[in-house]
A and B are shown apart, each in its own frame.
Chain A
Amino acid sequence: MELLIRNGFVYDPVNGVNGEKMDIAIKNGKIVEKVNERRAKKIDASGMVVMPGGVDIHSHIAGGKVNSGRLLRPEDHFKDFERKTVTTRSGVGYSIPSTFTTGYRYARMGWTTVMDPAMPPLEAKHTHEELSDTPIIDKASYPLLGDWWFVLEYLKNGQIEECARHVAWMITATKGYAIKLVNPGGLEAWGFGRNVNSIDDPVPNFGITPREIIRGLCKVNKLLNLPHTIHVHTNNLGKPGNYVTALETMECVEDLADGDKPVIHITHCQFCAFKGDDWRTFESGAEEIANYVNAHSHVTMDMGQVIFTDTTTMTADGPFQYILYTLSGNKWVNHDVETETSAGIVPFHYRRKSFVHATQWSIALELALLIKDPWKILMTTDHPNGGPFIAYPRIIAWLMSRKAREATLKKINPKARSRSLLPSIDRELSFYEIAIVTRAGQAKALGLKNKGHLGVGADADIAIYGFNPEEMEPSKKYKAVRRAFKRAAYTIKGGQVVVKDGEVLKHMDGATMWLDVQLCEPCEIELNEDMKRRFKEYWTVGYENYPVTEDYLAVSHPITVKADV
């Protein structure tokens, strides 16, 4: 099928296209030089913004933890539901939408690729079953490996290559995409109800420090040539004073950088940019983090923006979730996974009038605006931890318009307002920069070559928004920006029009991307034998029943990676 998008204002940062009026041609799901003008279906995008389909580097949309959150919170769904239509399945929202609704809602906003960032390897099948039930969007998931006993043991003994081979086995076996570390070392300690307090605090029973785990897995990541960097949720997350830990975490892999290529991604950085000794002296550490990131090129990060709403926090960081439970007194779910990881869930309401919550809101925006290079700071809410992903249009408005920020600032806690750095920041992001923080930069950080741009050969994932940048200034008309991003005029996925005027036209499967990591020496038989031997000791599931087979993926999209070990 051929498609021609005409006369839109195109923003394609990877190819340096900044708002030029041009046509985009599509054939067989890919972007091409040109199509037969007569035969092709035409979309008139004049007076509209054309961007690559949105990419989300970090959004908890599937898996055991997300589903426990759904089960835990019927009250979250009662107020937000979607009826079955001729083309779409029914479902519920709000902060933890059911799978079908998740796919539709992303597509409606013009997002076409979403990464689920926390997959317990033992429950990987569950994550993939849900991802397969999440329509339209392409997706992938990161297995949690920072507290896996194999990793702790091999790194403790300095066997980096051996560790790398096992990580490769695991990524392929779980159909994962990147190495995820959550509170490295802390989750193993949480197995007995403890935690680690700094990156040099040894992990009980294993005699290894978080620093060694982070460095070790960073080296492993390089040995395996994975497209994304290690994806790190820092130690001490959510505790006042933790910006020091975040800085230490970034510093500890500084020497592993080669050239300008990033080697670490600090995720939902807002939650680890807290200054102060306790909640009373709590303040923003955004400036310190931004200064560091501005001076270094080995880091990318995402925001973890807080939205003032009722949401459901869920992370693999069991000890952090327990603290959140003791702070809030809300209902609490904990789910530790043998030899691998843990998880926790606590419903949470971010309030404008709370000093801490309002400061958190400010921190994420400060980070996004103070870090000069938009390729280094990507837009997320850490859905649903900072707020549900449907709030993205509001964040885009805050980033693009000082006026929008001031309107919200007026309504927040006065103490938080007086301490916020936002009034001193004039920067307003352009559509070009928005295209970076919401798509191009995300795809680049993920190493997705065919996503996040509109060059020839890219996947034809495109979003068209009804906003005319020639007639309106986004900084002044921020409400129009919000409206435009809330309901895309068109979303095109793999060359097919799936959304028009914010309505889903088609229920179709998206692909699940995963890495087929190929080791350079033929040691796979040995590796499998070794795994087989040790399986009984470590897990309660048999070796044969552990790996995720391809039939768990509705549309399987393997990406072959050649490793150096």
Chain B
Amino acid sequence: MPVVKAVTCPVCGSLCDDIELTIENGRIVKVKNGCAMCEAKFLGYCCEHRVLKPMIRKDGELVKTSLKEAIRRAAEILAEANYPVLYGWSNTSCEATSVGIELAEEVGGVIDNTSVVCHGPSILSIQDVGIPSCTLGQIRHRADLIVYWGSNPWSAHPRHIERYTSFSEGRFEKSAWRGYVTKIKALVGRKKIQSAIKRLVLKKPSQISTHLEPTFVSPIMRKGRKLIVIDVRRTKTAEMADFFVQVEPNKDYELLQAFRALIRDQELAVDKVAGVPVEYLEDVADAMVSCDFGALFFGLGLTMSGAKLRNIDAALSLVRDLNMRTKFIIMPMRGHFNVTGANTVSTWQTGYPYAVDFSLGYPRYNPGETSVVDVLLRKESDAALIVASDPVSNFPHKAAEHLAENPLIVIDPHMNVTAQMADVLIPSAFVGIEAAGTAYRMDHVPIPLKKVVNPPRGILPDEEILRRILAEIRKIKKKQEAA
């Protein structure tokens, strides 16, 4: 059976590129090195929800049609529209996004990607403050302090810790894996002892258990690689951390500003910030200042809660300030495998990472005005093209409502909620499995995506479908001009 090596996993922003796939009769039968999400995608992408024929809505019903007809209809809708929105892009290749931008420019629409509802605030803050960052290998080789804030990589980016941070083996920093295993063993052992004691000695069990606690005091002071997790709940990642700070929901901003004060050696006149005792915070701030290389990763827990972009503002400023004392970097934990790529392509072609409006013939950017949710809420769009995304199930209800009212073109392999509302539905190949392309990892490293199996008959990649729609639109426009 042929085995394809060094395959890039098209699931999350970690873009692990060491996946090995075993192919049998044109199907993937075995996945090596991947996490649960990776396996699920490679083994289960050909599920019963897959759309295999282009469809068009006729009399309220989606009916099967030819690809040519679907593309013609899609082109008509976009060519007739005054202000269409083109949304999605984070789950497809950069090459497809590139055609998408050309298409948006041609029809004078708004092109926006999913960062508008995830790391959009991060981008706005970067535009205010800047960002000290690096590639993930730099963290693997050098970082002796890793902080995850409002993100839970154990569940959302399962191999992030193993490949790039605490458990990776670097030139200057060794993996903290052994320490973790010892800790887990100790924990399990302790629990066993405790339950044994409970069973044997019925009196005063609490005293003994407190006696056992001190071995775990202040792991933050120990040498070697340390992991700190700051979150509103004790996540899986928090379980394995050396130090966990439980912040009250929507109080991240206060906590960040408290850290900014502490690393400047200012004293806080309160006992608690965001529900955390100041002594705890002083320990964490100490660890931040005294590390050789620190890294702060933040997720949607920070971008989409409380002060939103102001949270990120504070986090970026904190890390920037930390560079006065030591080396520190910060990085957003990007979700979709190519959301970074969608931002990147959009930036080099239009100057702006998302929410780009071409209605005046040149790129305009003003999130809040030109971002797709706001366009929909104002009910301004009169057509929509959705590529590799499911906004109806994610957007605010009112925005989704207007989206469904628009003539709606969906290019997606799945029959998702948005696809069910479509007027034209064109099934596409899975990028990274059935179509090649390029994706950008969360640290902006471009990695090629492989085509490992053939798509079902007649199914094209996003890029090709978009090219055909664009060509058709140009044909229609030429005809109109001639007339």
Contacts and interface: CB of A to CB of B under 8 A. Distances in A.
A99 B323 contact: no
A542 B138 contact: no
B349 A81 contact: no
A71 B343 contact: yes
B130 interface: yes
Contacts of A73: 127
Given A67-B348, A77-B352, A545-B17, A540 B140 contact: yes
B362 A72 contact: no
A338 B140 contact: yes
Nearest to A322: B323
B438 A125 contact: yes
Interface in B445-459: 445-448
Interface in A61-82: 62, 64, 66-68, 70-74, 77, 81-82
Given A71-B343, A90-B105, A337-B135, A544 B5 contact: yes
B362 A92 contact: yes
Contacts of B353: 71
A62 B345 CA distance: 12
B141 A126 contact: no
A142 interface: no
Interface stretch (A286-294, A326-334, A417-425, A517-525): A326-334
Nearest to A342: B134
Given A540-B163, A545-B8, A545-B448, A99 B172 contact: no
Contact of B349 (A68, A133, A330): A133
B298 interface: no
A158 interface: no
B348 to A, nearest CB: 5
A126 B444 contact: yes
Contacts of B172: 205
Interface in B325-360: 326-327, 329, 343-345, 347-353, 358, 360
A72 B447 contact: no
A386 B323 CA distance: 26
A337 B138 contact: yes
B148 interface: no
A70, A73, A336 — most chain B CB neighbours (10 Å): A336
Contacts of B320: 332
A336 B138 contact: yes
A540 B137 contact: yes
A333 B320 CA distance: 9
Interface in B397-452: 438, 440, 444-448
A130 B444 CA distance: 14
B194 to A, nearest CB: 41
A68 B349 CA distance: 13
A123 B348 CA distance: 15
Contact of A338 (B138, B327, B360, B448): B138
A206 to B, nearest CB: 11
A334 B127 CA distance: 13
Interface in B114-169: 123, 126-138, 140-142, 163-164
Contact of A133 (B5, B348, B363): B348
Contacts of A413: none
A72 B137 contact: no
A81 B133 CA distance: 29
B180 interface: no
Interface in A323-376: 325, 330-339, 342, 345-346
Nearest to B98: A133
B94 interface: yes
A267 interface: no
B6 interface: yes
A297 B344 CA distance: 43
Contact of A92 (B135, B137, B351): B351
A89 interface: yes
A339 B320 CA distance: 23
B293 interface: yes
Nearest to B131: A333
B136 to A, nearest CB: 5
Given A64-B444, A90-B363, A334 B133 contact: yes
B434 to A, nearest CB: 18
Nearest to B436: A551
Contact of B326 (A67, A70, A71, A193): A193
Contacts of A92: 350-352, 362-363
B152 to A, nearest CB: 21
Contacts of A545: 6, 8, 17, 447-448
A537 B431 CA distance: 29
Nearest to A332: B130
Contact of B292 (A64, A129, A192, A331): A192
Contacts of B329: 334, 336
Contacts of B26: none
B361 A540 contact: no
B94, B140, B142, B362 — most chain A CB neighbours (10 Å): B362
B445 A72 contact: no
Contacts of B164: 540
Contact of B127 (A72, A96, A122, A192): A72
A541 B17 contact: yes
B349 A338 contact: no
A84 B8 contact: no
Contacts of A126: 344, 440, 444, 446
B137, B163, B172 — most chain A CB neighbours (10 Å): B137
Nearest to B367: A74
A331 B362 contact: no
Contacts of A552: 438
B333 to A, nearest CB: 15
A61 to B, nearest CB: 10
Contact of A123 (B5, B352, B446): B446
Interface string A96-126: 1111100000000000000000000011011
25 contacts: A66-B348, A70-B351, A71-B127, A71-B343, A71-B347, A84-B361, A91-B349, A91-B350, A91-B351, A97-B351, A122-B135, A123-B446, A191-B141, A192-B142, A331-B130, A333-B132, A333-B133, A335-B135, A338-B136, A338-B140, A540-B163, A540-B164, A541-B445, A542-B18, A545-B448
Interface of B: 5-6, 8, 17-18, 94, 98, 102, 105, 123, 126-138, 140-142, 163-164, 171-172, 292-293, 320, 323, 326-327, 329, 343-345, 347-353, 358, 360-365, 438, 440, 444-448
Interface of A: 62, 64, 66-68, 70-74, 77, 81-84, 89-92, 96-100, 122-123, 125-126, 129-130, 133, 149, 191-193, 205, 322, 325, 330-339, 342, 345-346, 537-545, 549, 552
Given A333-B126, A538-B137, A545-B448, 7 more contacts: A74-B351, A81-B362, A332-B130, A332-B320, A334-B323, A345-B130, A540-B136
